[in-house]
Structures are given as C-alpha cells and as structure tokens.
Amino acid sequence: MYLHVQRLINDIEADEPDPAAANALQEGLGGQFGEMRTMMQYLFQSMNFRGPAGKPYRDLLQGIGTEEISHVELIGTTIVRLLDGSPRYNGKKTDPLDEPGAGGRTPLENALHESNIHHYLVASQGALPVDAAGNPWSGSYVYNSGNLVLDLLYNLMLESTGRLQKCRIYEMTSNKTARSTISYLIVRDQAHENAYARALETLGVSWASVLPIPKTNAEKFPEVRKLLDLGLQSKQYSFDLTAQSEAGRIFQGMSPSKDGTQLDASEQAPAGVPLTIAEERFEEFSPGLDPELLALVQATAELEMAEVQPLYGPIPPPEGTS
C-alpha cells in the first residue's frame, strides 16, 4: 500500500519557459529508459518476486520502485513548469472573463513550431506519457524475467542508460529549471546503479574500475558536482513506513563506483519541498471556468474540511522544511 506526502522530492529551480527543453525531458519521463519505466519495472519485479530468502533484494527493488514514483512526479512537474506560459500569451491571468482567440487572435501560434504540438493541442501546456520523439509509453518496455540475477543485471543497465541519456540532455540545454531536475536524477540514477551493482557484488561479481557505466564526466557539471558533494549518489532511502525494509543488508559497504564513499541506507526519505499548483491558462480553456462555475467552486471551498483520521501518523513536520 502507498501513501502520499504533499511535497516534491527535490526542489525545481525557477527559470524562463522552454518548450524545447521540456520536450527533451519527456524522454526522462515517458521514454524507454525514463522514470515511468523504472517505476513500473520495479513495481512488477516486487509484486512478482519469488523466494522469501531473497527478501533483502525484494525490499531493495520495492524501495527504489517507490522512489521512482516520486521521480515521475518530479520530472512531470518540471515539464509543466517549462511549458507553462511558453506561448507568452499576454492574458490577464486573473480575469476569468478573458477571451483567448476572440476576434480571431492566435495566442497559440507558437505551438505549430515547437517540438511536440501535443503539448499545446492535447496536454494544455502539461506533461504527456510519451518520449521525446512522441512515442507513447508502452507496457512492452517492462522487463521481469523471474530470474533474480538477470533482473539485477538488467536494472543495472537500465539505470546506467537512463543516466547516460540524462547527461546528454544536460548537454542540450542550459535552462536552470531543466538542469536542476536533470542533475538530481543523474545523481539518483547513479545511486540506483550502485545499488544494483552492489547487489551483484553480493553474488560474486567484481567490477574492477568499470563502474559507473558510462563514465560521463558528470562530476564536471556544476549542478551535479554539488549533489555529489552531498553524497546523494551513495544513499538509498527506504521509503518504507513500517520499517520492515531489509534493503540495507545489501546497500552497505564501499560504493562499487569506487569513489571512496560508503553506501548508506539509514534514512527513510528526503525532506522534500512543498508542492504548488500551476496557474490557469485561459488560452487552453484550462480550467476555463466561467464566472458562474468559479462561484460554485468558491462556495464549495468555504465548506468545512472533513477531519482525516490518521492511521499512519500524526506526521511531524520534517526538520529543515518550510
């Protein structure tokens, strides 16, 4: 069972809208080696896992899989921020009577020349479950052989390829919004690569100096450097509310990437940052609520909020967060 926290797993830096960068990030969301794929692959590997003796491996898969859902949320939200307002429509955002296209204006003209017209025509300046070339995500991507060693080997390759592609995306754009999320995911992909490499080490494989694969010089990317200095490539959170995860039996010892750090599985989850909700975009008819409907929503909002009876909690506000 899963629960949600109204916080993003990492902060997204503000910058100008940039639909071309948004489209490149779609590969990291809905591509063959993106976050929807890792998320689904590890959830299926956890559900289908065989052999109670292998619980530490199952828990490792379950923990990383849970983290990937938050990555889907992070990169999807980043794409929204890169697209939001990109038509540079000078609409009076707060005026619900505003009339996009009235009199024959063309506030969405830019859509004809951006990377994926569906971002404007279908998704209302939002994220799509597709890759950077517009292919919809497919269930055929999910790999789960039922053989633990093969699955670990595949996962290692999957994380490495995801990181490789994100390093290439880093080289495609200098937009800070895009880079803040890409850099974070580069480092987390490396943490997961370390996790699977370490799991294979427990089965006897020795990697010499071949890890990380590939040896991008991501440590020379300033935003990545900062996160490496915090050791994020060598931490794995449990994301487990019941403290039953045994993943730490595997994720320990010296990092297989031989960067001199110790693997550390002692934290439950990062603190995260608050989630916000995007503005209306009237030129997309989103929400396009007319004054009458707005009034109805308002009325609803004034009702008393129901008391939620907590099973898992009460939750203390995480330290060091606003």
Question: Does 261 participate in binding its own copies (rule CB under 8 A)?
Answer: no
Question: Does 14 participate in binding its own copies (rule CB under 8 A)?
Answer: no
Q: Which pair of tokens denotes residue 119?
A: 């971002």
> In this chain, which of 16, 95, 112, 230 binds its own copies, going by CB under 8 A?
112
Question: Does 120 participate in binding its own copies (rule CB under 8 A)?
Answer: yes
Distance CA 295, CA 297 (A): 5
Question: Does 258 participate in binding its own copies (rule CB under 8 A)?
Answer: no
> In this chain, which of 17, 85, 91, 117 binds its own copies, going by CB under 8 A?
117
Q: Which of 244, 262, 261 is nearest to 56 (CA)?
A: 244
Query: Would the annotation count 284 as a binding residue?
Result: no
Question: Do residues 169 and 184 make contact, with C-beta atoms less than 8 angstroms apart?
Answer: no
- Neighbouring-strand partners of residue 273: 8
Q: Which pair of tokens denotes residue 279?
A: 């503005």
Question: Do residues 251 and 236 make contact, with C-beta atoms less than 8 angstroms apart?
Answer: yes
> In this chain, which of 14, 88, 90, 209 binds its own copies, going by CB under 8 A?
209
Question: Does 310 participate in binding its own copies (rule CB under 8 A)?
Answer: yes
Distance CA 85, CA 295 (A): 25
Q: Pick out residues in 44-63 that bind its own copies (CB under 8 A).
A: 44, 47-58, 62-63
Question: Does 16 participate in binding its own copies (rule CB under 8 A)?
Answer: no
Question: Does 230 participate in binding its own copies (rule CB under 8 A)?
Answer: no
Query: Would the annotation count 192 as a binding residue?
Result: yes
**Residue linked to tokens 């969405």:** 108
How many beta carbons lie within 10 A of that of residue 149, not counting itself? 13
Question: Do residues 159 and 189 make contact, with C-beta atoms less than 8 angstroms apart?
Answer: yes
Measured from the CB atom, the residue of 14 and 306 that comes closer to its own copies is 306
Measured from the CB atom, the residue of 21 and 187 that comes closer to its own copies is 21
> In this chain, which of 38, 86, 160, 181 binds its own copies, going by CB under 8 A?
160
Q: Which residues contact 100 (CB under 8 A, 6 or more apart)?
A: 89, 91, 107, 108, 282, 283, 284, 285
Query: Would the annotation count 71 as a binding residue?
Result: yes
- Neighbouring-strand partners of residue 253: 263
> In this chain, which of 61, 82, 132, 195 binds its own copies, going by CB under 8 A?
132
End-to-end CA distance of the chain: 27
Query: Helix, strand, or coil here: 145?
Result: coil
Min CB(149)–its own copies separation in Å = 5
Min CB(2)–its own copies separation in Å = 4
> In this chain, which of 12, 30, 181, 233 binds its own copies, going by CB under 8 A?
30
> In this chain, which of 144, 180, 181, 255 binds its own copies, going by CB under 8 A?
144
Q: Which residues are annotated as a binding site?
A: 35, 59, 68, 71, 159, 192
Q: Which residues are annotated as a binding site for Ca(2+)?
A: 59
